[in-house]
Amino acid sequence: MKPCSITSSTYMTILRRTFLGRRWWIMALPVVLCLCLTAIDTRFAYVALIVAMAMVMLAMPLVFYYGLTQESRWSILEKTVTLTDDGIRLDFLSDKMESHDIPWGSIASTSAYCNCLIVRLKKNRYTFLAIPLTAFDSEEELRETVIAIRSHL
């Protein structure tokens, strides 16, 4: 596998999709309700804007709590990924980061999104390792990697 990394914006896109995947309507409901009430009084349009900004502010902890974890650095920093008998080994190209092993027991599932192979970790619901598909030399290598990870689940 080639050295790989993803951008922080790609990581946050995946995180946002994971976090808001099924609950996006909960954040949109107060805004839509205020927009519907605009038919009664036009001042509710201002309230809708205020509520929309409040929803954005409520989503900010997502960025700071989940987006700045050690695991997010695993995805963003350039590394080589190797499958071993014990799990997944991450060897970082930067001297500031030490190699890290992710045991097979810490992996919850795999999926694909945003041109990345997403390896979800059991540590937290929103913790994952994103490996770009460009890191694989061929589709066969990608398929073998996914099969190897899923066989240990």
pLDDT digits (tens, 9 = 90+) for 137-152: 888 998 999 998 998 8
The CATH number for 81's domain is 2.30.29
Domain-embedded: residue 4: no
Bigger pLDDT: 16 or 63? 16
Q: Is the pLDDT of residue 8 over 90?
A: no
pLDDT digits (tens, 9 = 90+) for 59-82: 777 777 777 777 788 888 899 999
For residues 74 and 55, membership in a common domain is answered with no
Last residue of a domain, one of 20, 48, 66: 66
For residues 46 and 98, membership in a common domain is answered with no
- Note down the domain range covering 79: 69-151
Domain count, the chain: 2
Domain-embedded: residue 55: yes
Q: Is the pLDDT of residue 89 over 90?
A: yes
**Mean pLDDT across the chain, nearest whole number?**
86
Domain-embedded: residue 53: yes
Per-residue DSSP letter, 51: H
Q: Is the pLDDT of residue 58 over 80?
A: no
- Which residues lie below 8 Å from residue 102, measured CB to CB, with a gap of 6+? 87, 88, 89, 90, 119, 121, 129
The predicted model scores a pTM of 0.73
